[in-house]
Amino acid sequence: MLKILSINIFIIVVLLVFSEILFRTLNLVPLQGYDKKMFIEEDEVVLNRPNSLLIAAGKKVKTDKNGFRVPLNQNKHDSDLKNTLILGDSTSFGFGVDEKDTFVGILRNKVKYNLHNGSVIGHNIDSYLYQLKKYFEKTNSDFDNVIIFLCLNDIITKEGVVVNTKLKKIIYSEKDNFIIRFLKRDITFKANVFLRERSALFVFLKSIFLNSVERYYVYMSSLYENKNFLIRYSESFKKISDFSRQKNLNLKFVLLPFKMQTIKNCEEQYLQPQIQTSKILKEFDLIFYDFTEEFCNNKDNANLYLNFDPMHLSKSGHELVSTLLIEKNIFN
């Protein structure tokens, strides 16, 4: 009996190891963790650690003296060119993608601008205001224009998700199934974090069982029906608008859709986040571009995102963004 049990355990272990190797070799899903040394805290706002070479989602990430993500090889700026500051969260940071395959990396040799990617994993609308004040008020930066990329989870500010070097839970719903409730327990939450940073197979299985693409969208879209969240969101945009006018900034916003919206071909019932965000941007006369329609109309729209990921772009997604930025002449 013991011999049979040992053989079965051995077979299971071999299958798990083989599956893990297969998933990593084929790059079917990205790891979801990042090096905890990646961030520094400044006035309770998290920024990328300057002059570092660390790992995020299984990819090497290099930063310059400002904490901006730069190519792994030497990143030279042309003093004769204007400078564009890119702000955003993990989506524009290029989570799960090599720098050269992000839209910023793709555009470095295609536009006549020096591109500075100041995006930070976990940032939100309040973080962008802090960075604007940091670069245009506290320091003598020479950026000629700013483009802020809005992922529609930016509506969650400090009371929603606290992003720092400590591990924090995202509370989705009181109606969670038993798997979610189990993962939220302290010990299982820590195990979940440990495994998602190290096992592609675990990330795959969790995504399948939890349907993360739909689940994440459903939760986020519900916040756009919450009056308190919308008021807070609007107030943050007003502060950015006021600061932009005070400093006479050349500021533009770009809205990036969730995967759930694109695979549903932009059916109106799925577009509440864009409708509310656009309404606020128009209210404060902020210039913006919504890429949702172009994503939905793309024949291969499901592959514009990382596998089983609700929002982070794949190489193809970044290529589409780079194309749209040029076509819409957004850098001028």
Is residue 49 included in any domain, yes or no? no
Say yes or no: 115 and 227 in one domain. yes
Say yes or no: 24 and 135 in one domain. no
Residue 69: phi, psi to the nearest 5? -70, 130
Q: How far apart are CA 189 and CA 169, in angstroms?
A: 8
Structural domain including 8 reads 1-30
Say yes or no: 115 and 261 in one domain. yes
Give one DSSP letter per residue of 215-277, joined into a string.
HHHHHHHHHTT-HHHHHHHHHHHHHHHHHHHHHT--EEEEEE--HHHHHTTT-GGG-HHHHHH
Q: 32, 71, 86, 76: which is closest to 55 by C-alpha? A: 32
Say yes or no: 5 and 118 in one domain. no
pLDDT of residue 37: 86
Is residue 63 included in any domain, yes or no? no
Could you read off the pLDDT tens digit of each residue along the chain, which spans 332 residues?
Answer: 666 666 666 566 666 565 556 555 556 566 666 777 889 999 889 999 999 999 888 889 999 999 999 999 877 788 889 999 999 999 999 999 999 999 999 999 899 999 999 999 999 999 999 999 999 987 767 899 999 999 999 998 654 333 333 333 433 344 444 444 444 455 555 665 565 555 666 666 666 666 778 888 998 999 999 999 999 999 999 999 999 999 999 999 999 999 999 999 889 999 999 999 999 999 999 999 999 999 999 988 889 999 888 999 999 999 999 999 999 999 98
pLDDT of residue 213: 87
pTM: 0.83
Q: How far apart are CA 281 and CA 52, in angstroms?
A: 35
Q: Using the structure block, give the residue that is written with the tokens 């772009």.
A: 313
pLDDT of residue 19: 59
Q: How far apart are CA 119 and CA 260, in angstroms?
A: 23
Say yes or no: 4 and 144 in one domain. no
Say yes or no: 231 and 133 in one domain. yes
CATH number at residue 307: 3.40.50.1110
Say yes or no: 19 and 155 in one domain. no
Three-class secondary structure of residue 314 per DSSP: coil
- Provide the angle, in degrees to the nearest 10, between the axes of the packed helices 272-283 and 212-223: 40
Say yes or no: 126 and 264 in one domain. yes
pLDDT of residue 3: 64
Say yes or no: 23 and 95 in one domain. no
Say yes or no: 146 and 240 in one domain. yes
Is residue 176 included in any domain, yes or no? no
List Cα–Cα distances, 123 to 87, 264, 324, in angstroms: 9, 27, 23
Q: How far apart are CA 124 and CA 287, in angstroms?
A: 18
Residue type, 311: M
Is residue 261 included in any domain, yes or no? yes
Is residue 214 included in any domain, yes or no? no
Q: Does residue 56 contact residue 121 with C-beta atoms inside 8 Å?
A: yes
Q: How far apart are CA 287 and CA 104, in angstroms?
A: 20
Q: Provide the number of structural domains found in the chain.
A: 2
